[in-house]
Amino acid sequence: MRLAGMVAVITGTGSGIGRASALRFAAEGAAVVCADIRADANDEAAELVRSAGGQATAITVDVTDDASVVGLFAGAEREYGRVDVVFNNAGVMLDSDGDAVDVDLATIERTLAINVTGVLLGCKHGVPALRRAGGGAIVNTASFVASVGAATPQVAYTASKGAVLALTRELAVVHAREGIRVNALSPGPLRTELLMSFLDTEDKQQRRLVHVPMGRFGEAEEMAGAAVFLASPDASYVTGANLAVDGGLTAAYVTPE
């Protein structure tokens, strides 16, 4: 098991990538701290892990609130004594997102608060926890839209994921000699509740899939496997990287510099 003996804090475990990752990290031997603002869904995730034979605890957190994130890491260390992995995965893609002309300020502010401030606070309070453990790994969920333009307009979401990618690179450089690795996971279009609620018509879905060489949506479990790699000793010489798990989408559209 690649994560045996480790403690992983994963945000956004109420559904999607976070839920799949909680199960996969635990299957790989990690004790998992499930963190989500939705208490019922978060408790359910932890119970699923335990029912599968894994070790998990649930802590309700608002990733946009500094005190709440402080409490998350304090609770993780109180429960397990250390934190070895921080997976800043919580995020939103709001139905009200759109192009730069039509998107409203409330949508912009909420998207940036969760997707950018939430990741930044996870790093702000996660790094000291990793230092106390003698090093570790941070994985931040970005997106393919941090590298290419989306076929359906979602400017607030795209801006937020570009920020996550830039933040990841800087933190990787700053903390490299502390034994703290920081990498980004950039999923392609996934068959998750988050994306399917945005791509709510067959036309919207096909406009996205036409750009994916593999011709299908990815699955949350596929992202969980990639996150395990980035968190594990198998990636011991990987930091500041953007791992695109996107069915070949960016390979088809990104021109090497």
Q: Which residues are catalytic?
A: 157
DSSP state of 110: H
Q: What separation in angstroms does the CA of 49 have from each of 25, 178, 187?
A: 9, 31, 23
For residue 225, give the 3-state DSSP assignment. Answer: helix
- End-to-end Cα separation, the chain, in angstroms: 38
